[in-house]
Structures are given as C-alpha cells and as structure tokens.
Amino acid sequence: MAKAGKSARVPPDRSGKSIGLKGLADYLGLSPATVSLVMNGSAVADTIAQETKDLIFEAARKLNYKPNFFARSLRIGRSLTIGVMVPEVSQGYNATVLSGIEDYLLQEGYFYFLASHRFRQDLIDEYPQMFLQRSVDGLIVVSTTWRRQLPIPVATVSSHDEVQGVTNIVLDHRRAAEVALRHLVELGHRKIAVIKGQDFVPDTEIRWNAIAAVAHELGVPISPKLTVQIERNSPSPEQGYRVTQELLASNEPFTALFAFNDISALGAMRAIDEFGWRVPRDVSVVGFDNIETAAYHIPGLTTVQQPLREMGKMAAESVLRRLSRVDNEFSRIAAKIIVEPELIVRGTTAAAPVPRKRSTGAVQSR
C-alpha cells in the first residue's frame, strides 16, 4: 500500500493559486498515479492506506488543488459531461430528481448541461442533437416522452416508453394506487375524487389507469363526475386550486380527494378551505411525490412518496455504468428499473365524516 513521504519537496503555495496533480504528488512524495486514484475516488484506491488518503485530502485543501478536467478528459477519451433534459426547473418533482442526478455526477467527477423544454415538442426534438454537438458522454431525460435511439447511453426517469438501449426508471404506479386508495377505504371513504395530471405528462395515463383499476377492485369506482384534470403547463398550486373549485361547484358529494401531485394537492386544500370546509374534518386529501414542503404544511400532507432523489441517482449511475463498458454495447441493452412507493400518512387524512347535506354556496373567487 502506498504511503506518503516524510518530507515535502514543494513548499505550500501561499499565493492562493491552485496547484495541479503533479505539484500535489511532489509535495506528498507520492506518484501522480496514486494521488489521481485517491482524488478521483477510484475503486482501486481501496488498497491505499487510509492514513495516506487522509494526507492527500489534507494537502489538497491546503494547497488549493484543482483537478484538471481537460487533461482527465483527454486521458480517458470522454468529455466528462452529461446532458440532462427536464420539463422545467421548479419546486417539487423535477427539482428533487435533479438533485439526485447532481449528487451522483458530482461524486463521480462529472459536469452536466441542463436544458428545460416546457413540453415543447420542437425543443424535445432539438435538444438531443444540441447535446451531441457539445460532445456529452450520455443523456438523462426526466418526465418526458422518449422514443429515440442515440449513439450515447441514455437513461429516462418516468418515461414509460420502451426503447432499445435505454434504461428507464419508473415507479410501480399500481402499488402507489393501492396504498393510497386502501388507506382511504379503511378510513371509511367511498366517494373519492381524483385530480388527473396534464395529458402531456408521461405519468398521467399510467397513474390514472392504475387508480381506476384499483378503485374498481376495492369497490369504490371513481365517478367521472368526481374526476377533474389539470390542463395548463404550470407547476403552480393554482392548477389544483382551480380544478378543485370546479369540483366543489358541481355539488357532487365526495369525502376524499386524491391529487396528481403534492403541488396540486396544496392548491386543492386552499380551495376547500375557501369553500368553508376543513381538511381532514370534511375532506381528506392525499398528494403524490412527497416533496420537501409536504411535511411542513399545516396540517402535514398525507402523500404517496416516490423516491425521487434515488431515481435521479439511479439514472445517473446507469449512464455512467454504460460508459464504463469496455465492449461499448449499450445500444443493444434495454432495461426497466421499477421502484416502490411508500404511503406517508400525516394530518390531511382522517375517518370519513358522517353523511350530511352539502352546502349549496358558491365557491369564493380569489
């Protein structure tokens, strides 16, 4: 196992300028290869004494060591960059998935280019070619319909399209519907309303089909009169607020609401409150995703948790693993990784209220 030398050959740089790999190795009395293995987190570095690794990291901080990504890129024949496509950068689903992607890529010494397309088909079509022109090593596509094959590794999150050579990380939506609806049924709810996602969001159809099937099996089929759909391309709670206003104005009785995501659930609760009802006394609400703010709402939002950060990490790991294949046969590989949901019960669900006559008052306008 390699050990650091007893004396430094190069004095510390007090000017604030960064030092390169060779200078750091000279200072420690180690070979550049040993220092490179440790600084890049190589698996081979496990054979190097922990004392030596600690000294390398300490010296790197003291000497303001900065890795030369360009040199490393030339050495391994890669750009060390990954392209990432998301519908938008906003709170909730996309931001949490992106944080998982970022965590893994930074850990592995990769940079990434991020592009948001707002579900514009022209941008969805153009961005892959732009990424290829910038020599990205791989591509990660989040919550976007994807049917293309590229000459680089591709991983998708919540795409649901089976494409040769593309790894797709998806949630078990049937299980998600089961845990949410069974929870409501066990609380005595029989009239359950549903907020569907936008037609252009890949999860919408598969999630709705799962909810409809499970509800029928549980003996609580979802009435079309209790189904509303978000239409606009916006991540704002406003969308859940508006469709819930429509639902309440219809005077169709319901005691529980299952929202497409946590953002729309928060908007729905605002509409319910303005109608003069209380959550969960009058209506129980279940969200989807378990975004960070869900736990801090009053009451805390009961929701179906997707392991979004982990899904992002899995997508990034899949792309980098394909890059490490010596035979480079990723174009002939197809895979689907299914992750499990978990119901997080908080304060927005409770026993169904005793049947009573509904108010006929109009929904207050904002």
- The helix or strand, by DSSP H or E, that contains position 142, with its residue range, turns out to be strand 138-142
pLDDT tens for residues 163-201?
A: 888 999 999 999 999 999 999 999 999 999 999 999 999
Which pLDDT belongs to residue 14?
47
| CA 137 – CA 320 distance, rounded (Å) | 9
Q: Which value, in Å, is the radius of gyration of the alpha carbons in the chain?
A: 26
Which pLDDT belongs to residue 253?
95
Token pair recorded at residue 306 = 């997707």
Contacts of 199 (CB under 8 A, 6+ apart): 205, 229
Which pLDDT belongs to residue 108?
84
Domain 173-305: assigned CATH number: 3.40.50.2300
| CA 283 – CA 274 distance, rounded (Å) | 13
Q: Report the CATH superfamily, name and number, of domain 77-170+308-337.
A: Response regulator (3.40.50.2300)
User: Would you say the CATH fold of 173-305 matches that of 1-67?
Assistant: no
Q: Which residues of the chain have pLDDT under 50?
A: 1-2, 5-14, 74, 326-327, 330-331, 358-366
Kindly list the domain boundaries of the chain, sorted by start residue: 1-67, 77-170+308-337, 173-305
Domain 1-67: assigned CATH number: 1.10.260
Which pLDDT belongs to residue 106?
86
pLDDT tens for residues 223-257?
A: 999 999 999 887 789 999 999 999 999 999 999 99
Task: Please give the C-alpha separations between residue 244 and each of 191, 207, 221, 281, in angstroms, as whole numbers.
Answer: 15, 19, 19, 17
Which pLDDT belongs to residue 103?
92
